[in-house]
Structure 1
Amino acid sequence: MLKINRENLKSSHQTIWLIIDFLMLGLLIANLALIIFDSVYAFSAIEGFFAEHTPGFHGLYDPIHENFLFYDLVFVSIFLTEFFVRWGYAVKASVYDRWYFYPFIHWYDLVGCIPVGSFRFLRVLRVISIIYRLHQYKIIDVTSMRAYQFVNFYYEAFMEELSDRIVLKVLSGVQQEVKRGSPLFERIQHDIVYPRKDMLTDWISQRVAQAAQEGYVPNRGALRSYLEDRVDSALKQNLELSRLKYLPVVGPTIQETLEEAVGDIVANVIHQILEDLASASNHAFIEDIINVFMPDPADARAESAANEALINLILEILDAVKAQVRVKHWREELP
């Protein structure tokens, strides 16, 4: 059942307009119910049924049916009055950039006011817009209605089925392209990626330098201490080096000197590597790595076996994605 949140209604700055929305909603529902009933009443069999079984009601409603356009125009006049009042307020409050934007944005309000044939049923759009506006202001909660949950469930089921079929069709097409040896991947590699190798090298070089500067330079002392401790612990566990301490007189001194020297060498090597990475001199190193992963196109064409393995990998990945797409999540939500 639809509930009205009176606290949000009171705290809203649009209280008057929201009350008008409720009144218009009631009038629209009544008007649409009357239109539907009159459309059904227009059948001679239905009119004859009322004339035979409920002559009092038939005598009362028959003049309304004969002059239905007049009664419908009463509703239309109310709807148009409300429309122009809202338009005037929108112009005064500068809701839109131009004063004439309002009728174009709210076109369904005007079209629904045409008292001819099927145009009348377009007033349903106005009902939907009012309900949506009330839902936006949290005056009502449409999602708590059973009708909404019922329609939304099957809408989501339909959309999932539709999107799954589209995705499966697309993935199957991609697999066929890969199996036929589509030149797409070679075009991406040779025409797009490889010509921009220098740009990629510069970008990666800058990113590595920035990461090294921000990560290493502020923690240089802590990293050096950690490396020296790790090297010292590893050397003490070394059996050959531990035997030096048994040399008479100079054994312990040699062992200690070697431990300090090795620790200092390792720390200095790591320090120099990170210093190089943190500077512009890392460009050549990064370029060598890029050349390993992105060889010259002439050499890349010779790697047919590697390309075949890559194609098989891509096909298996697409099969796994298709298997996951085939899972119907909406069926899991069925009671």
Structure 2
Amino acid sequence: MAQQDSDQNSKYNYVNPSSKFFKLFLVYDIFMVFIIVFNLFCLGMNFFLMSNIGAWFFNTIQLPSVLEFYRTHLHPWVIITEAWFIIFLIAELAVRWFLAIVQKHHARWWFFPFIHWYEIIAIIPHFRFLRLFRAGIIAYRLHELGYKVVPDNLRIKALFYYRVVMEELSDRVVITVIDGIRHELDTSSSHKKIIHDLVDHHRQLFTITLASMLQESLAVALQQQEPAIKQKVGLIVNQAIEDTPELTQLLRLIPIVGGRIEQQIQSIGQRLGENISAGLIEPFTAGSLQKPNESYQLIAEKVSELNIDNHYLEELVESVVYESLEAIRKQVKVKQWQQMLEEHDQLDKKAE
């Protein structure tokens, strides 16, 4: 699809939008859309009229003579027309390939048949439906250029039903895969080995990540709380000195300067507590995200080396996996197209 768009873009880029050649390209694309749709319509009607269902329908409406006339006189012309149309498609594809080589639309001359594979396969009678794919691409390209080949109402409805089909198909695939995973978890123990291998494979990355997280969160928090921690520790040391009666009694035995010495000791103790707190905090605030400090690296290494062969840990992992799968399953089962349809109906009711 993207390659086809790029090819269409390159084709139009060689032509001035205001020139006659550009308009000629547009007319040609519109003509191709028309004859492809008309050809498929004729083949579809031919299939219906030549089938037993067609015979039953015309016998029911009592017009067997009309069906007999078609089968005798018009059917051979449809077959001949289809043969000529196939020849036209082959010639048209060859001319476009030649033009692509001359104008160097692609990096290699032999890229054209691979990029336009659906057009080549559509020449085969059993794969005629791919011609409609080409018509859709041309119509989409014309729509991007501002030419409404397809009416907006029809385009919106077609896009809606396309999304319905794709959503239903994708939902079935996803739900089937989720159910298969749940069945594998219920009936096999191989997932335990997979979990162990997965954890072992990512231990080093887990160490780096954990150290970086500690550096980013804990170090910053310690830096922000450092003044408060120092003050609190200093007050605790000061209060501890005050709550030591032996020291108070001893200092009061010293005449005149005893009270002064007691105050100095309390002040020194408070400052000592603050300095010790700062010294203990400093190793945990050093470093950067690119190079966490050694303390965090050591903590991360020890955590990553934990033995995961633990019954409770396995239950935790299994519970997380099961709940995750169930959550995905519930989300997938939500019909987005139904919600869009309900919203559209509500808008119509408000408009009325």
Change (3 A) 1:281 1:112: closer
Deviation at 1:112, TM superposition (A): 2.5
Contact residue 237 and residue 273 of structure 2 kept, 8 A: no
Match of 1:227 in 2: 226
The change in CA–CA distance for 1:236 and 1:161 in structure 2 (over 3 A counts) is same
Q: Please tell me whether the aligned partners of residues 90 and 102 of structure 1 are also in contact (alpha carbons under 8 angstroms).
A: yes
Task: Report if aligned partners of 1:228, 1:264 keep a CA contact under 8 Å in 2.
Answer: no
- Structure 2 counterpart of 1:162: 173
Write out per-residue CA displacement over residues 122-176 of structure 1, whole angstroms, 9 at most, x where no aligned residue: 4233224434544666766989521331242143123213311221221231243
Structure 2 residue 65 is the aligned partner of structure 1 residue 52: yes
Gap runs ≥5 in structure 2 = 1-8, 253-257, 343-352
Work out the number of aligned pairs and report it: 298
- What amino acid maps onto 2:335 in structure 1? W
1:39 Cα deviation (Å)? 2.9
Do the aligned residues in 2 keep the contact of 1:76 with 1:113 (CA within 8 Å)?
A: yes
- 2:345 corresponds to which residue? none
Change (3 A) 1:185 1:249: same
- The CA distance in 2 between the partners of 1:279 and 1:103, in whole Å, is 51
Q: Which residue of 2 aligns with 1:112?
A: 122
Query: Is residue 64–residue 71 contact of structure 1 (8 Å, CA) maintained in 2?
Result: no
SS of the aligned residue for 2:188 comes to: helix
CA distance in 2, matches of 1:75, 1:139: 26
**Structural mapping, 1:203-214, within 5 Å:** 204=208
| Equivalent of 1:258 in 269, 275, 299 | 269
Residues 106 and 181 (structure 1), Cα distance of their counterparts in 2 relative to 1, 3 Å cut: closer
- The corresponding residue for 1:130 is 138
Tell me what 1:329 maps to: 334
Please give the alpha-carbon distance, in whole angstroms, between the structure 2 residues aligned to 1:62 and 1:324.
62
Contact kept in structure 2, 1:227 and 1:263, CA below 8 Å: no
Deviation string, structure 1 residues 55-87 (Cα, Å, up to 9, x no partner)? 9xx48x964432334323443454344423432
**Per-residue CA shift, 1:244-294, capped at 9, x if unaligned?**
999722344333333333222222332244448999996687457524542
CA shift in 2, pair 1:47/1:107, >3 Å: farther
Decide whether aligned partners of structure 1 residues 25 and 271 sit closer, same or farther in structure 2, where only a CA change above 3 A counts.
Answer: same
Residue number in structure 2 paired with 1:84: 94
Which of 91, 94, 108 is residue 98 of structure 1 equivalent to? 108
Runs (5+) with no aligned partner, structure 1: 1-8
| Mapped partners of 2:156, 2:268: distance in 1 | 82
Give the corresponding residue for 1:37: 45
| Counterpart residue identity of residue 232, structure 1 | Q
Compared CA separation, residues 266 and 106, structure 1 to 2 (3 A): same
Cα distance, 1:103 vs structure 2: 1.9
Query: Are residues 316 and 25 of structure 1, via their aligned partners in 2, closer, same or farther at CA, if it must alter by over 3 Å?
Result: same
**Displacement, 1:313?**
1.6
Deviations 1:90-117 (A, max 9, x none): 2233222211221232132233234xx5
Any conservation in 2 of the 1:211–1:278 contact (CA below 8 Å)? yes
Residue in structure 1 matching 2:320, options 311, 314, 317: 317
Deviations 1:211-247 (A, max 9, x none): 58xx97xx9xx949x6245422564477826959997
- In the alignment, is the contact (CA less than 8 A) between 2:97 and 2:112 conserved in 1? yes
SS at match of 2:109: coil
1:308, CA displacement in angstroms? 1.4
- For 1:41, give the aligned amino acid: L
Q: 1:257 to 1:241 in 2, by over 3 A?
A: same
> AA paired with 1:249?
R
CA contact (8 A) 1:109 1:126 kept: yes
Amino acid at match of 1:311: E
Change in 2 beyond 3 A, CA 1:318/1:176: farther
Give the whole-Å Cα distance in 1 for the aligned partners of 2:283 and 2:134. Answer: 72
Of residues 133-142 and 96-105 in structure 1, the stretch that sits farther from structure 2 once superposed is 133-142
Q: TM-score, normalised by structure 1?
A: 0.65
Letter in 2 for 1:26: F
- The separation in 2 between residues aligned to 1:36 and 1:63, in whole angstroms, is 17
